[in-house]
Structure 1
Amino acid sequence: MSPILFYGVPSGCSFGSIVALEWLARPYRLCRIEMPSVVTSDAYKRINPVAETPSLMTADGRVISETIALLNHLGPLGIERRLAFAQGTHDFDRWNQMLAFLNTTFFGSFSPLWYAYEHELEPEAKQALTDYGRAKVEKAHARLEALLGDRPWLLGEHRTLVDAYFIGIARWTKYHDAVDRRAFPNVRRLVEKLEADPAVKFAHAIEQQRPAVSAGGFEGEVRLEDAVESIRRAAA
């Protein structure tokens, strides 16, 4: 049985995990989770009680949630492709540090914008929250601009799974009209390079339910009900 990635739509951060699986070129399947309806359902809570995506059901039926944990699980599969690094090395520490920055500072900067988008608020409150969120996103971009410098990828001369996670979040800038990326040329350069990548184009097509051509090991989509049954059988 190949692993199953439970990805959230619309515009879930699990987008980056699809890209990561494509780059790894190993067999995997996908399960589409609509947000907020299906992600909070009893069926999905059997997969992830926290009711968030992404989650990954491994080949032996275990479930891993939280993006950092998921990418650290996948990382060893990508060491030969230079997509990750062996634990205990300096490069692994840099890899993990950048993952943490993306998960806290970069991802977190969009939280006010998502809250304003998903909740009914008085117009004044919504505008105040939106302005606050845009200021946080701009500050996070400035920090990332400095961290990236003139490197071609987040960690240096070649792409890693960290870059896959990054593009899943970076596209929210356009979704929320949050910041003018032209003010951050290093970040803009990286985003444009990633958007041209076949795996990123594949992930966009999957989310938008358009014909999608995999360059990796994609084996098709499965229904949530069937995935839950697979976990039940694995636990029996």
Structure 2
Amino acid sequence: MNPLPILYYGVPSGCSFGSIVALEWLGEPYALSRIEMPEVVTSAQFRRINPVGETPALMDEHGAVVTESMAILNHIAARGRERGLGYAQGSRDFDRLNRMLAYLNTSFFNAFAPLWYVLEHEVTDAEREALVNYGRAKVEKVHAELEAMIGEGPWLLGEQRSIADAYFIGIARWTRYHDVVDRSDYPKLQRLYEALEADPAVKFAHAIEDQTPAVSSGGFRGEIALAQTLPRLAQAA
């Protein structure tokens, strides 16, 4: 039996959520490795997988590792062109997809950073107020920008679902922790969010994170502990 690709995903609520969804949409066999944050993700063991100490990371069938969400999602998209997940490099659709991924990976993701800082660090009341106000302004701004960027189609790029939608839902759900924006003020984004939350792959990713019964409609073949994946990395080195 050939080794499976392994996605290292971070909990709680890591942005690696989108890569789980994308792998489900791809439909090819894969395994998952659960990485607790911040304890395990910053450990010496995991830094052998990703020296930066961040998830997601994807080990391929040969033991080579790809890190960073945008790189992993493009890797999955290249394998899923027949399923409409990606496009030929150099095409207009490829450029549109990369533009959307880049926006989500920088502006949309980064807008939540001040709010996460408040949750994860000891701050004074004055610092908390300043950071929350700053975060609220950033999150409102990127929601307005994204609402203006997308058209009337059901997905971020129009009529065709793509890996950008998978990445979007992994970040957009963070509003449940940070009550700073009313998504109903952005009807296109609200429609997209609701459609994705109803998707079997998204429900599966939620169940995986929550450690509740998870039903895969893709190629999920089980979970594997971090330590058990390291020998393959050594062989690939």
Q: TM-score, normalization: structure 1? A: 0.98
Q: Is the 8 A contact 2:59 2:65 kept in 1?
A: yes
Which residue in the other structure is 1:110 paired with? Answer: 112
Kindly state the Cα deviation for residue 176 of structure 1 after the two structures are TM-superposed: 1.4
Residue 76 of structure 1: which of 75, 78, 83 is its match? 78
Residue identity in the other structure for 1:59: E
Write the deviation string for residues 31-69 of structure 1: whole angstroms up to 9, x where unpaired: 000111110000100100000000000000000000111
Kindly state the Cα deviation for residue 234 of structure 1 after the two structures are TM-superposed: 3.0
1:137 to 2:142 alignment: no
Please give the residue correspondences for 1:199-210 in structure 2 after superposition, counting only pairs within 5 Å. 199-210=201-212
Which residue in the other structure is 2:8 paired with? Answer: 6
1:18 to 2:20 alignment: yes
Partner Cα separation in structure 2 for residue 178 and residue 54 of structure 1? 26
Q: Is the 8 A contact 2:5 2:31 kept in 1?
A: yes
Once structures 1 and 2 are overlaid, which stretch shifts more, 142-151 or 98-107? 142-151
Which residue in the other structure is 2:103 paired with? Answer: 101
Partner Cα separation in structure 2 for residue 7 and residue 127 of structure 1? 31
Which residue in the other structure is 2:33 paired with? Answer: 31
Kindly state the Cα deviation for residue 122 of structure 1 after the two structures are TM-superposed: 0.8
Helix, strand or coil for the counterpart of 2:189? helix
Identity score, percent: 63
Partner Cα separation in structure 2 for residue 42 and residue 227 of structure 1? 14
Residue 48 of structure 1: which of 50, 63, 67 is its match? 50
Kindly state the Cα deviation for residue 29 of structure 1 after the two structures are TM-superposed: 0.3
Which residue in the other structure is 1:164 paired with? Answer: 166
Give unpaired runs (5+ residues) of structure 1: none
Helix, strand or coil for the counterpart of 2:222? strand
Kindly state the Cα deviation for residue 229 of structure 1 after the two structures are TM-superposed: 2.1
Q: TM-score, normalization: structure 2? A: 0.97
Helix, strand or coil for the counterpart of 1:13? coil
Which residue in the other structure is 1:198 paired with? Answer: 200
Partner Cα separation in structure 1 for residue 91 and residue 11 of structure 2? 35
Kindly state the Cα deviation for residue 83 of structure 1 after the two structures are TM-superposed: 1.0
What stretches of structure 1 move > 3 A for 4+ residues in a row? Answer: none
Kindly state the Cα deviation for residue 175 of structure 1 after the two structures are TM-superposed: 1.9
Residue 217 of structure 2: which of 206, 215, 218 is its match? 215
Which residue in the other structure is 2:183 paired with? Answer: 181
Helix, strand or coil for the counterpart of 1:39? coil
Partner Cα separation in structure 2 for residue 147 and residue 166 of structure 1? 14
Helix, strand or coil for the counterpart of 1:46? helix
Kindly state the Cα deviation for residue 149 of structure 1 after the two structures are TM-superposed: 3.1
Give unpaired runs (5+ residues) of structure 2: none
Kindly state the Cα deviation for residue 170 of structure 1 after the two structures are TM-superposed: 0.5
Helix, strand or coil for the counterpart of 1:60? coil
Which residue in the other structure is 1:60 paired with? Answer: 62
Residue identity in the other structure for 1:149: G
Kindly state the Cα deviation for residue 21 of structure 1 after the two structures are TM-superposed: 0.1
Q: Is the 8 A contact 2:151 2:157 kept in 1?
A: no
Partner Cα separation in structure 2 for residue 56 and residue 130 of structure 1? 33
Write the deviation string for residues 71-91 of structure 1: whole angstroms up to 9, x where unpaired: 111111111111110101010
Partner Cα separation in structure 1 for residue 177 and residue 23 of structure 2? 24
Partner Cα separation in structure 2 for residue 127 and residue 64 of structure 1? 38
Residue identity in the other structure for 1:36: P
